[in-house]
Amino acid sequence: MSLDHRLSPEHEALRRTVQEFAHDVVAPKIGDFYERHEFPYEIVREMGRMGLFGLPFPEEYGGMGGDYLALGLALEELARVDSSVAITLEAGVSLGAMPIFRFGTEEQRQEWLPKLCSGQMLGAFGLTEPECGSDAGGTRTTARLDEATDEWVINGTKCFITNSGTDITGLVTVTAVTGREEDGKPRISSIIVPSGTPGFTVAAPYSKVGWNASDTRELSFSDVRVPAANLLGEEGRGYAQFLRILDEGRIAISALATGLAQGCVDESVSYAKAREAFGKPIGANQAIQFKLADMEMRAHTARIAWRDAASRLLHGEPFKKEAALAKLYSSEIAVTNAREATQIHGGYGFMNEYPVARMWRDSKILEIGEGTSEVQRMLIARELGL
C-alpha cells in the first residue's frame, strides 16, 4: 500500500475551510465559553451548517459523501485551536451517528441520520460504567425484553458520556446485557434510547479539568422502556459492534490529538518570536529552538500515523494495530507538547487567557478516553501475536 498521504484537492480545500473557521470563528469566542463551562451552541450550529457532522456519511442520509480522512482533517484543524469543539464533533460523528450508520436498519438510518448529519441533533454512545472503566466486557447495565409489550426494559448507569445532556441531544446508544451464553458470559447488545424517555435521567455536567466547553455527564436508567425495534444490529453483538466503533474512533482521537500538538507548536512559535528577554526574542535561544523542533517533529510524525490508519480503513485493509499505534503515540506527544508549550510561555503559560493553558488542561484526557494508553499497548502486543 502506498504511504503517500498528500491530500487530494478536495481534501485540501476542506482542510483550509475548517482551518479558516477555527481561526476566524472558534478562536475569538471559545475562551469565554471554556471559562464559563458553557456549551457553545452557536459554534456547533455553524459547524452543522458547514456539513461537518455529516462528513463521512452518504448524501442519501443527509451526509456530505466524504470519508474518515475528511473527518480527521476537520478534527485536527479544530483541535489546533480548541479541543472542546473538536471532541463535540468527534463524539457526535464517531460515537453518536456512526453506530447507526454501521449497524442500524434502513429505517433507523432514515429516522436518525439526517438530523445527526445536519448537526440539528447530537447523538451519544453510552458505553463506560462507573465500576467497569476499561473492562467494557464487565457491563452491568441490563436490558430484558418484555414480550407482552415488545419493549426493552433497561436498568443501569453510564458515566463520562460526551454530548449526552445538551439541549440538542436526541439519543444515546446504550450497551446492555441482554442475556447469558451457555458458558455464563454476558450477551451484550446495543439499544437506541431517545432523549426524554421516561426513567432516563441525565445528571448535571461534571466538573472537569479540561474540555470545559464540551458536555460530559452521568446517565441512569430506571425501568426505561423503548420499542424492541430500537435494538441496534443483532442481539448479543453489541460488544463486537462497539469494538469496531472504538477502532475507528481511535483514528479520530489521534487526529484530534495531533491537532492539539500542532496547536502547541503554533502558539509557541508565535510567542517565541514576540517575547523578548535579555534584549532579544526568546526564539533566538537554541534551547527554545530545539524544544520547538522536537515539538514539530512529534506533531508531524503523529499526523503521518493517523493518516496511515485512516488510509488503511478507507482501502478496506486491516487497521486495528495502526489505529492503536496512532492513538497511543499522538495522545502521549500531545501531553508532551502541551507541557513544553507551557514551559516556553513561562508564567503566561499558567494563565487561562493563553490558549496553551487550555491545551495543557485538555491534553491529559487524550491518554485515557477511547482506550487508555495501557489498553493501546495491550492491543498492539496482541496484534504482534503476543
Residue 1 pLDDT more than 50? no
Domains in the chain: boundaries: 9-122, 124-236, 240-383
Q: What is the gyration radius of the CA atoms in the chain, in angstroms?
A: 21
- Is 370 marked active-site? yes
Among the four given CATH numbers 1.20.1250.20, 1.10.3720.10, 3.40.50.880, 1.10.540.10, the one describing domain 9-122: 1.10.540.10
pTM > 0.85: yes
Q: Per the residue annotation, which of 151, 235, 296, 370 is the catalytic one?
A: 370
Percent over 90 (pLDDT), the chain: 92
Q: Which residues contact 225 (CB under 8 A, 6 or more apart)?
A: 146, 149, 151, 152, 153, 154, 197, 198, 199
Q: Which amino acid is at 324?
A: A
Contact 36, 88 (CB under 8 A): no
The CATH number of the structural domain formed by 124-236 is: 2.40.110.10
- Kindly report, residue by residue over 146-192, the tens digit of the pLDDT: 999 999 999 999 999 999 999 999 999 999 999 998 888 899 999 99
What proportions of the chain, in percent to the nearest 5, are helix, strand and coil? 55, 15, 25
In whole numbers, what is the pLDDT of the chain averaged over residues?
95
What pLDDT does 294 receive? 98
Helix (H/G/I), strand (E/B), else coil: 215: coil
Q: Which of 260, 286, 272 is nearest to 359 (CA)?
A: 260
The correct answer on CATH 1.20.140.10 for the domain covering 240-383 is yes
